């Protein structure tokens, strides 16, 4: 019996001990929670920028290719052996400049023959006309002489055309490419002699979505950017629009003229094209670093200063998270269409440590 009392007493003491320990632990936890609830975090240090009102140059952007206004592979209309090459690869040539001379000795000899025959036929015809007036010959003899004269003229003209075709000329002014023929080579009609491209001005061909058609007008300014000339801008104007919309892509092809006086650009180059729209005189802008982008919408932290400063002399206040509607974005700047006004002070550095209503200390302000 005494052993049972001893065990019972021990159990009671253990229960009392654990109860006492649990009570003290509970009191400590409660005290810690009260301290945590009463804790006020120090203001977050942020940087800020003001919403700016400025003019804005909107534009439509596309990609395109540079195309020669005139571009052909110079060919021969006739067969012949290359006797002279009158250009160097890469030359700039004027319209009508001789490029290749084919062997035309046979044609030149025929021409001399026809010229001599023409003189004889002319003398014969003139003599027969005089004799006809004296009734010394028949009208048929005069007609025969005239026919022979006209045939000789036609043969001489055909020979002159053949000779001119043996001298191949530039059909327009432009830049010559790399020649594809050699001295002594026999060429046939259609043989590619050299590429000739008119490169000042050039055409820029690009496409825009059909919904932008009403924003495009002939004479509208464009700029083109080519990777070869990083940072350079080449300006031109829209000269033509296609007569139909592509039914597969729902885009319309547009052509612009691009001056190229220094011959820096070449047909076939890839280019980024910007079509300038009318300038908007007043739009609100912010650095894009001030905007928080999410799937549910874009927002910023609007600062309300309380007129006080902390120990470091930094202005203090609170922030409110504001939903905004953004527009065009260019480089580091984004247009604000809705939600803010000019002069609003917006956090642009330190947003990750903020929540709605958080206290802040303003490190600096960017205009």
Binning pLDDT at 50, 70 and 90, where does residue 35 land? low
Measured over the CA atoms of residue 78, residue 79, residue 82 and residue 83, the dihedral's sign is negative
CATH code given to domain 197-279: 2.40.30.170
Phi, psi angle pair for 365, to nearest 5° = -130, 130
In 3D space, the residue among 167, 165, 174, 164 whose CA is nearest the CA of residue 94 turns out to be 174
β-bridge partners, 293? 298
Question: What pLDDT was estimated at residue 39?
Answer: 47
- Count Cα neighbours of 123 within 13 Å in the Cβ-side half-sphere: 6
Q: How far apart are CA 37 and CA 173, in angstroms?
A: 85
Regarding predicted confidence, which is higher, 313 or 251?
Answer: 251
Say if 44-56+281-366 and 78-196 have the same CATH topology: no
Helix intervals (H) in 167-226: none
Mean pLDDT across the chain, nearest whole number?
88
- In the sheet that holds 192-197, the strands lie side by side as 71-75, 192-197, 174-176, 92-93
Question: What pLDDT was estimated at residue 308?
Answer: 85
In 3D space, the residue among 346, 343, 342 whose CA is nearest the CA of residue 322 turns out to be 346
Question: What pLDDT was estimated at residue 21?
Answer: 75
Question: What pLDDT was estimated at residue 314?
Answer: 85
Average pLDDT, integer, range 307-314: 82
In 3D space, the residue among 71, 96, 77 whose CA is nearest the CA of residue 86 turns out to be 96
The pLDDT of residue 104 is above 50: yes
Name the one residue in this structure whose structure tokens are 């070869």. 228
Q: Of 92-101, 321-330, 357-366, which has the strongest mean pLDDT?
A: 92-101
Q: Which CATH class is domain 44-56+281-366?
A: mainly beta
The pLDDT of residue 306 is above 50: yes
Question: What pLDDT was estimated at residue 1?
Answer: 52
pLDDT one-digit tens code per residue, 17-32 = 777 777 677 667 766 6
pLDDT one-digit tens code per residue, 123-164 = 988 888 888 888 888 889 888 888 988 999 999 999 999 999
CATH code given to domain 78-196: 2.40.50.100
Q: How far apart are CA 335 and CA 283, in angstroms?
A: 7
Contact of 206 with 273, CB cutoff 8 Å: yes
Widest Cα–Cα separation across the chain:
182
Q: How far apart are CA 277 and CA 84, in angstroms?
A: 53
Name the one residue in this structure whose structure tokens are 């195309």. 67
Name the residue ranges covered by the structural domains of the chain: 44-56+281-366, 78-196, 197-279
């Amino acid at each position: 019996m005494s052993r049972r009392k001893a065990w019972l007493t021990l159990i009671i003491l253990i229960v009392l001990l654990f109860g006492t320990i649990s009570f003290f632990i509970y009191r400590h936890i409660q005290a810690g929670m009260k301290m945590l609830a009463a804790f006020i975090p120090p203001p977050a240090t942020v940087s800020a920028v003001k919403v700016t009102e400025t003019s804005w140059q909107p534009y439509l952007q596309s990609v395109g290719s540079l195309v020669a206004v005139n571009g052909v592979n110079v060919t021969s209309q006739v067969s012949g052996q290359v006797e002279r090459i009158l250009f160097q690869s890469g030359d700039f040539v004027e319209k009508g400049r001789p490029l290749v001379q084919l062997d035309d000795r046979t044609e030149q000899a025929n021409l001399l023959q026809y010229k001599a025959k023409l003189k004889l036929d002319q003398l014969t015809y003139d003599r027969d006309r005089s004799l006809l007036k004296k009734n010394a010959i028949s009208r048929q003899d005069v007609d025969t002489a005239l026919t022979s004269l006209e045939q000789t003229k036609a043969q001489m003209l055909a020979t002159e055309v053949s000779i001119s075709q043996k001298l191949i000329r530039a059909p327009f002014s432009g830049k010559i490419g790399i020649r594809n023929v050699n001295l002594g080579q026999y060429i046939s009609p259609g043989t590619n002699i050299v590429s000739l491209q008119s490169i000042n001005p050039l055409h820029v061909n690009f496409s825009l979505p059909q919904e932008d058609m009403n924003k495009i007008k002939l004479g509208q300014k464009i700029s083109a950017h080519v990777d070869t000339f990083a940072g350079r801008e080449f300006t031109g104007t829209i000269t033509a629009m296609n007569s139909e919309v592509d039914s597969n892509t729902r885009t319309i092809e547009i052509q612009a003229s691009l001056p190229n006086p220094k011959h820096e650009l070449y047909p076939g180059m890839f280019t980024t094209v910007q079509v300038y729209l009318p300038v908007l005189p007043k739009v609100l802008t912010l650095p894009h670093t001030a905007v928080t982008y999410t799937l549910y919408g874009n927002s910023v932290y609007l600062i309300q200063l309380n007129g006080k400063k902390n120990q470091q002399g930094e202005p203090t206040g609170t922030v409110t998270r504001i939903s905004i509607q953004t527009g065009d974005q260019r480089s580091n700047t984004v247009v604000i269409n809705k939600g803010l006004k000019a002069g609003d002070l917006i956090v642009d550095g330190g947003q990750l440590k903020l929540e709605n209503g958080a206290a802040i200390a303003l490190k600096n302000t960017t205009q």
